[in-house]
Structure 1
Amino acid sequence: MTPEELKAACLDHHGAVEDFPFAPEVSVFKVAGKVFAITRLDEHPLAVSLKSDPDLAANLRAAHAAIRPGYHLNKRHWNTVTIDGSLGEEMVLDMIEDSYDLVVKSLTRAQRAALGG
């Protein structure tokens, strides 16, 4: 997965936007103002931090060397995923979607309604 493909995968979700609240080189992807993905698109190897169900997060870390506790994030709820080819692209896309879905699920009914879709 290239940086452009990662960015497109994050922005492909309804209402997703890219923001730069930390630094110009740190892309933060949000829905309704809440973060679901953080990455440095110029980083080698490419990595992305994604929200995850706590039990699933621990299981993923135990099963895959490319998945580790979220860098500078709540380690219980976030994983940092290194995109080095060891994980299938479909798996990375599924983790992005899961992260987005977790954030949308946490929104108020009014916020979800404002998203449409």
Structure 2
Amino acid sequence: MNIEEYREYCISKKGVTESFPFGKLPDVLVFKVLGKMFTATDIASFKAISVKCDPDDVDTLRKTYTAVAPPSYMSKKHWNKILMDHSIPDTLIKQWIDDSYNLVIKKLPVRDRDKLKE
């Protein structure tokens, strides 16, 4: 997966916006669903992406895949960094992006979740 494929996959999801919200990290592209972040990457290098994870799965994924590690700037309990070194199939990376997106949606108020169904 390259940066263009990653961006297209993320932005195609319902209710998603993209932005560069971190002034001190101007190259960090963030994807949000209804204002809540579900994935991010540094577009200058695209060495890794960060995705939200079920806390019960975080450590298992890190132990199972050498390309999965704790993130630098996010909660290590709820997020994983995935190294984009081509050791993990794109289908699995997409699944983790989907899982991240769905975890965020699950935490949204019902009225916001209903907006995504329209």
TM-score of the superposition, structure 1-length normalised?
0.93
Q: Matches of 2:57 and 2:12 in 1, distance apart?
A: 23
Q: Matches of 1:70 and 1:100 in 2, distance apart?
A: 17
RMSD: 1.2
Query: What are the equivalent positions in structure 2 for 1:15-94 lying under 5 Å apart?
Result: 15-23=15-23, 24-44=26-46, 46-94=47-95
Structure 1: which 4+ aligned runs deviate by more than 6 Å? none
For 2:116, give the aligned amino acid: L
Cα displacement (A) at 1:77: 0.5
- Deviations 1:84-115 (Å, cap 9, x if unpaired)? 11001101000000000000000000011122
* Structure 2 unmatched ranges of 5 or more: none
- Deviations 1:12-42 (Å, cap 9, x if unpaired)? 2111110111043110000010000010122
For 1:98, give the aligned amino acid: D
Q: Matches of 2:94 and 2:44 in 1, distance apart?
A: 19
- Tell me the SS of whatever aligns to 1:60: helix
TM-score of the superposition, structure 2-length normalised?
0.93
Task: Count the aligned residue pairs.
Answer: 116
Q: Matches of 1:57 and 1:14 in 2, distance apart?
A: 25
- Tell me the SS of whatever aligns to 1:42: coil
Q: Matches of 2:11 and 2:93 in 1, distance apart?
A: 14
Query: Which shifted more, 14-23 or 29-38?
Result: 14-23
For 1:58, give the aligned amino acid: D
CA contact (8 A) 1:10 1:16 kept: yes
Q: Matches of 1:57 and 1:90 in 2, distance apart?
A: 19
Q: Matches of 2:73 and 2:15 in 1, distance apart?
A: 25
Identity %: 39
